[in-house]
Amino acid sequence: MSPFGQTYIGDWKVNYTCYEFKPDGWLPGEPLKYATYAIAEPPQADRGAFDWKPVALLRYPQEDFAAVFSNDREGLDKAIAELTKRIENSKTQA
């Protein structure tokens, strides 16, 4: 998987980043960890061409800079699943 990219959840644009790192205390030969974060942006049509109001972005993870996983695919799958759920929740509350 690419360390960064773009995908869509419905008509929401999602930019994601996943990078490998060596946690504190890492020793050669131990598996690397993968940090993942993503930001979902609502469709442009929802904002209007001349609407300069702030855009409500959804971020994964909500509390930390990035979530840590054993592999990059697991991180992206988790980010997409959580953002999908939050996007669906935002549609029902609107």
Report the C-alpha gap between 55 and 81 in whole angstroms: 21
Average pLDDT, the chain: 86
pLDDT, position 94: 58
19 or 51, which is more confident: 19
Average pLDDT over every residue of 13-26 = 90
Give the domain ranges of the chain: 4-93
The model's pTM: 0.79
pLDDT at 24 over 90: no
The answer to whether the CB of 36 falls within 8 A of the CB of 16 is: yes
The answer to whether the CB of 31 falls within 8 A of the CB of 12 is: no
- Specify the long-range contacts of residues 52-58, CB closer than 8 Å, at least 24 apart: 56/90, 58/12, 58/83, 58/86, 58/87, 58/90
Report the C-alpha gap between 17 and 19 in whole angstroms: 7
